[in-house]
Structure 1
Amino acid sequence: MLRLRDITPRGLYARSLLLILAPVLLILGLMTWYYYSSHIAEMNRKLGQGIARDAALIRDACINPEYGPADYARIQYLLETEFTCALPENAVPISALRQGFSYNDTLNSELAARLGDRVFVGQVPKEPKLHIRFAASASTAEIIIDRKRALVINAHFFIVWVIFFSLLMVALAIGFLNQQVRSILRLSRAARAFGRGRDLEGFRPSGATEVRDAARAIIDMKNRLTSFAEQRTAMLAGVSHDLRTPLTRLKLTLALMPESDDLKAARSDLNDMAMMLDEYLAFARGEEGDEAAEFDLGALVHDVVAGFGPHVPVSGPQTLTARGRPLALKRAITNLVSNALKYASHARVTLVNGPHWAEVIVDDDGPGIPADRYEEAFRPFSRLDDARSQNASGSGLGLTLARDTARMHGGDVRLAPSPLGGLRAILRLPH
């Protein structure tokens, strides 16, 4: 079923412009149609009736010379001011006359009603005169009048003025609309920048009251989220730092104890805890002081992969410009590559420079993850109970932190089957 939104513009500016232009064009069209079809047509009909009445008076005078003084005065006035009579031998040939002109049918019908059917009305091309030829007594008579006597020739001035003022009002409306839409677009850019962890330089609430309220609400939300993230980071850093002291004490105590299987298990647990704390501290340190800036994503990926050795190939462009927090993205890519090598024997990294997105694709040949458990893999501290988790240590935060970092930059991390047979992790960032 056809819906209105399927045939109307999708953008706010285009829709608002349509709301302005559609009524103006509709009203202008209706006014023009009514003005010409009713008002102007009636005026030209009245003018045609006047011409037909005067022409009939002249014709009757030709047929019957005995007319009264009043008629004589009227005829003399017409012949001296508006009408010109031409004898048949001096008349313009019919072949030189053109019949088509505005409201020709209206004038012809009025003349035919007064003078009979044998009436011919024509115009010499490029001359402002109308030739009216009719039967008078035994011969044919012709009278000549100015074209403006039969037609309203300045009717178009009304339409010109209407169009002029309509265009003026539309221009003013478009100017006002530009201001309102500009405020909404700036608010959209600011919200997008805030969502990527950046500030829009020079942004302040502007526009209509509702737009200003929305801008203030977004600024307040951004401040609250920033404060929450700072508190979370500070708390995580503090807790991780405070736990390192008792953890070190426990390691020292275990080192002095005699060797046993239980002691080995306890040391393994302590090592896992130490690794988790290192990840928490790395995460906390990465959030602090890492400002958004333009950087070379290609160089960053090659630098990360170089730390895992030459057995991880990298393909794609060597240079790829992106904007974001380099330390946070470096940690996210490190987590993805580390996660791939943790569960597989081979991994591969591919850089893709798309028209709107830059992608870092990490493939491995491990056991993979079922498609219905992809989202579960992004949950914090998630350790999937399948072959991908066997004999693997970790905090379960690698994918979670990578997706959080990507979404903080306006992108995302998603999983898919890999051509190598394992899992593919795709980190996508906007240009």
Structure 2
Amino acid sequence: MPKRFHIRLRDITPRGLYPRSVLMVVLPMILLLSAVTYIFYDSHWRHTSRKLSQTISSEIQFMVELRRQYPDQFDALRDEASRSMQLDATVLENSRIPTEQKRLFFSALDDIFSRELDVSLDQPFWFDISGYGEKVEIQVQDGPDVIRFMAERDRTFSTTGHIFIVWVIGASGILIALALGFLRNQVRSILKLTEAAKAYGRGRDADNYRPSGATEIRDAARAVMDMRTRLTTFAEQRTTMLAGISHDLRTPLTRLKLQLAMMEETDDIRAAREDLRQMGAMLDEYLAFASGVEGEAPTEMRFDTLVADTVAALGGQATIRKADAVSIIAREGLIRRAVTNLISNAQGFGDRVEIDIIEGPHMAELVIDDDGPGIPPDEREEAFRPFHRLDASRNQNVPGTGLGLSIARDTARQHGGDIRLEDSPLGGLRVRLRLPI
């Protein structure tokens, strides 16, 4: 069955709010202006010009007939016509009319006048509308002679139609400018709110932002600011509570470590010390996941340098294939922890780990490939769930809490980025971390 293509309106219209608003204002105005201009041109200006051209053509025909019937009295008749009809006539003896027709840029006048002259006259004729200022020149071939007529331009066709068009275009231009200025102010308020919301979402402050614009925009801005305040308060309370729990748990853990240090070294004691060490690491990871946004301020940093330092600190078999020099603005501690989690996960499940640091037009990308068992596509979203561990694709014997990917994605989204899981060319899993430049 052949594939059918459907053209949707949103595919051919601008996607931005301001361009769409401009289109909504300008397009109806242009259509209205075009309709008014066409109606005026067709029903008034063209009709008026045709009637005037018919009158002049009839007067010229009348003068040509007078010369034929009364050649000896034509001079007197010509003077009378000049006074009564404002039509000057001159006989050019033994002459020929020009062969090249002069035409206006706006050819409708030429077409109207030429058609009326052609209807009225049997003789060849020539005319020039483009020159002589307020006069129009018409030449008629009358036997071996040429009769040259000079008519008033205002009596030949309508000369005031363009004034109406200019007024319509000018008024429309003023209305469009006023509408665009109003729209720009309203859209600017929405764009400021968008930037402030993005900054809040990335954990930054927008101290210079003040609600502005229409009442609805101000209400939306206040709602965003109130929501940020509530979320910040909730995060601070959660962090404070978990910090207290962590402190309370570390105290008995520290006592246990001291007691084990004073005991005789045996396999059981060494195993108990390792359990205590893992419990301390788990507490740190739980606190890091629950705290989310730290008090650390965002700073400009070299992302490629941070990744290289992390790889060197972790050691192992990870290698950097490509490293573009790219800078980002982020909380260094959170980004370092996220990168550490991603690389250590790849090292834990694969024997070969290769890393790329790519600078895109808007995003910095960290691509981590491993040759491990990978994760099936239908389970990749589940891998980001806190405390979730995959049975089939990832080995349960690898130590951890199931928070590595959760912390990494949470950190990426706090900074306006994200993490995606894909198939790796090495046969395992590809992790793609994207952060805004």
TM-based fold match above 0.5: yes
**1:42 and 2:54 matched:** no
Q: What CA deviation, in whole Å up to 9, does each residue of 1:156-187 have, x standing for no partner?
A: 22222222222222222222222222222222
1:171 aligned partner:
177
1:186 aligned partner:
192
TM-score (normalizing by structure 1): 0.82
CA contact (8 A) 1:97 1:123 kept: no
CA contact (8 A) 2:420 2:431 kept: yes
Structure 2 CA distance for aligned equivalents of residues 308 and 106 of structure 1: 88
Which amino acid letter does the alignment assign opposite residue 26 of structure 1?
A: L
Which amino acid letter does the alignment assign opposite residue 200 of structure 2?
A: F
2:56 aligned partner:
51
Structure 1 CA distance for aligned equivalents of residues 231 and 417 of structure 2: 18
For residues 206-221 of structure 1, the aligned pairs below 5 Å read: 206-221=212-227
1:17 aligned partner:
22
Residues 111 and 251 (structure 1 numbering): CA distance in 2 closer, same or farther, change over 3 Å? closer
1:69 aligned partner:
none
1:83 aligned partner:
87
2:98 aligned partner:
95
Picking from 308, 329, 341, the partner of 2:314 is: 308
Q: Secondary structure at the match of 1:185?
A: helix
Which amino acid letter does the alignment assign opposite residue 93 of structure 1?
A: R
CA contact (8 A) 2:140 2:148 kept: yes
Q: Secondary structure at the match of 1:339?
A: helix
For residues 242-321 of structure 1, the aligned pairs below 5 Å read: 242-250=248-256, 269-281=275-287, 287-309=293-315, 311-317=317-323, 319-321=325-327
Structure 2 CA distance for aligned equivalents of residues 267 and 412 of structure 1: 37
1:131 aligned partner:
138
Consecutive unaligned residues of structure 2, counting only runs of 5 or more, are: 1-5, 71-75
Q: What CA deviation, in whole Å up to 9, does each residue of 1:170-219 have, x standing for no partner?
A: 22222222222222222222222211111234111112222222222221
**1:239 and 2:245 matched:** yes
Q: Secondary structure at the match of 1:233?
A: helix
Residues 85 and 258 (structure 1 numbering): CA distance in 2 closer, same or farther, change over 3 Å? closer
Q: Secondary structure at the match of 1:123?
A: strand
Residues 147 and 233 (structure 1 numbering): CA distance in 2 closer, same or farther, change over 3 Å? same
Deviation at 1:133, TM superposition (A): 4.3
2:3 aligned partner:
none
Structure 1 CA distance for aligned equivalents of residues 320 and 276 of structure 2: 35
Deviation at 1:146, TM superposition (A): 2.7
2:35 aligned partner:
30
Residues 372 and 266 (structure 1 numbering): CA distance in 2 closer, same or farther, change over 3 Å? farther
CA contact (8 A) 1:275 1:394 kept: no
Q: Secondary structure at the match of 1:389?
A: coil
Structure 2 CA distance for aligned equivalents of residues 388 and 87 of structure 1: 108
Which amino acid letter does the alignment assign opposite residue 397 of structure 2?
A: N
Q: Secondary structure at the match of 1:427?
A: strand
**1:7 and 2:12 matched:** yes
Structure 2 CA distance for aligned equivalents of residues 309 and 109 of structure 1: 93
Which amino acid letter does the alignment assign opposite residue 307 of structure 1?
A: A
Residues 274 and 45 (structure 1 numbering): CA distance in 2 closer, same or farther, change over 3 Å? closer
TM-score (normalizing by structure 2): 0.81
Q: Secondary structure at the match of 2:394?
A: helix
Structure 2 CA distance for aligned equivalents of residues 278 and 107 of structure 1: 94
Picking from 326, 329, 333, the partner of 1:323 is: 329
Which amino acid letter does the alignment assign opposite residue 430 of structure 2?
A: R
Q: Secondary structure at the match of 2:433?
A: strand
Q: Secondary structure at the match of 1:313?
A: strand
